[in-house]
Structure 1
Amino acid sequence: WTLASCPRRDFQCFFRPPSPCVLTHDDYQNAYLMNRTEMRTLFRQGNLPHLDNERVVVFMPNFRPQREPPRMRDRLAKIGLFLVQQGLLPDIAIVKEAIQRINTPVDERAIAFQGDDELAGGLLLYVSRPRPEYLNQLQTIEEALLAKQDNFIPSIGLPIRGMLCVARFTCKFMFFRSFQLASTIASDKCEFEAECFSFETYLQATQEWWLQQCPNTTDKAKIRVLVTTESTDVQEQERTWIGRPFPALWERLDFAIDMNPYDVTQNTGLVRTFVSNDTTADQVMLSALSSLRAQLSHRFVLGNCCSNFHRLMQILVRNGCTTDWDSKFVCLQDHPNESFRLCCAWDKSERCLRRLGKIVDNFTDVL
């Protein structure tokens, strides 16, 4: 695993093991490796009798979304009831209700990776438990980030994957179209994943969405915004924005901008080469997890759902895994103002093809 910092070379270098049965490197090396047919059978039928005597089996999903095993929910519910009966879980109504809801029917077309149900949110939260030494560091970072927040000042989380800035750059979108831009893309996420805005445009989108949700907000009301990012250019424009002498003409809110000083700003979602430089795998994980935890402490989060990282935030917020039980995650793709609806690179809708085509034409004209 790219972000592994210990000899195990897997996610358990940073996160706690998913069960008390912690596998060793030798276990992996000697395990039975399932083939594609066996993987299909497992996910369709829920079991593979010829592997019952194997202690460890390995399957390689190649990062494809997989349908959940049919018996998984029933097994988890039975385990929960057993723990209550044994006195290992409190025998109270809310616990029993949670166990019953494990078996709540979900859309058959849904896949576990999309996770738009409470069980998926709970499982994601469970597998994301950091090891104690990293949890202590995360709590220290979180306290520093949230120390400046005033409970009486409304706040919103604004995670930003990337931003456009001026310079010459060759860009290849997933539309299999290459073109020369008068723009450098501050993060490769803007090159392959989605279009990106300037920092000011992100704030304009935030203000417009806020005023629609809270129409009684008075002019120049103070709103605290926590910006987390992987982009050095976003941070630079953020500092420029904070230090500007006069407010912008469009500003109706008094933005109090907070940054995560622990963002390592790797400018990429592909960390393999980045980790080999001056930043360690642990620092990258601490940066990502501290930003995630900090964003989950806000009542509102405005994100970009072209990003799997932002989709993870969305799943956790929707399923109540937040500080505020009434938190809400909003995708920029669903922004009420069409001009702020970011297009994902794989979106072949007429609107997005036209929108991205205009971006190309505008930058080509500059050249």
Structure 2
Amino acid sequence: MLPEVIGMLRPRDGGVYLDGTFGGGGYARGILAAAHCTLWAIDRDPQAIERGAAIMHEVALHDGDRAARLHLIEGSFGSMMALLAECRVHQLDGVVLDLGVSSFQLDDPGRGFSFRADGPLDMRMSRHGETAADLIRTLPEADLADTLYALGEERLSRRVARAIVTARAEAPIETTLQLAAIIRAVVPPDRSGRLDPATRSFQALRLRVNDELGEIQRGLAQAAELLAPGGRLVVVAFHSLEDRIVKRFMIEAAGRLPLPSRHDPRGLGGHLAPPRYRLLANRAARPGEQEEGRNPRARSARLRGLERLDSASTIPSAPPTLPAGSPA
């Protein structure tokens, strides 16, 4: 959805922008091509930063002797404010966040994100901290079931957790295909046949390993605060848990909340502060048929945007990380 993202972001000459999820550099290239602006790019995957060096070189060659326009930072976009402050950047004209796992990570069996090929159960984006194999080995059955239900929306989470605990008692579960086989043995295929039975559980483990929903909450809050008046926050989400957080945050920021009760002290005689942001569209934009045909992974994408109206820094608090409910 590069054209739609660039169209919503509206880069301008002289502006300062952030690509908070650099990945393969697709959005970075698009932003730098759309305007003679400065772009800061963050990614917690060291391999993404290494790939970015080639793009920095391309931009430098294109610009000749002019000052560098692309700057790479290794780190999490949920810490963007601190990372940018170290570089003396305190305000932005736009922020892009493309959530979830990148194609580079999915396509590398050694990263352990996919069950399409065998690889170690890693799933770490930053290459630091606990791996998915660590979680599979150590989580109590109830905690594992809660994780699969809340973060993967796996209705058979208890059945899957029980199968994993039984299997790990016999031998360590260390590879993607080992885990996928255990899950497929207890979760039947969906009626469409398009969703592998292991998909939801793999998603849940990945989200927990990388604290992805927490990163989204922190990133949205900090991005909104960093925006200059007229600055825009553009977010692409790929599944319901991500999009739910983004949608709620933007609606609250834009003041699109139900009117308070007449018993609420803010109602009737009270005063509500005017919204400091506006929604760039009332509904999420979705990829067209051509985009889906060219990139099947884009079919679940949801694009939303927010624009800052003034210079105030107060923003709504982030929504809870996990959805309500208990394991099935």
TM-score, length-normalised on structure 2? 0.24
Structure showing greater radius of gyration is: 1
TM-score, length-normalised on structure 1? 0.23
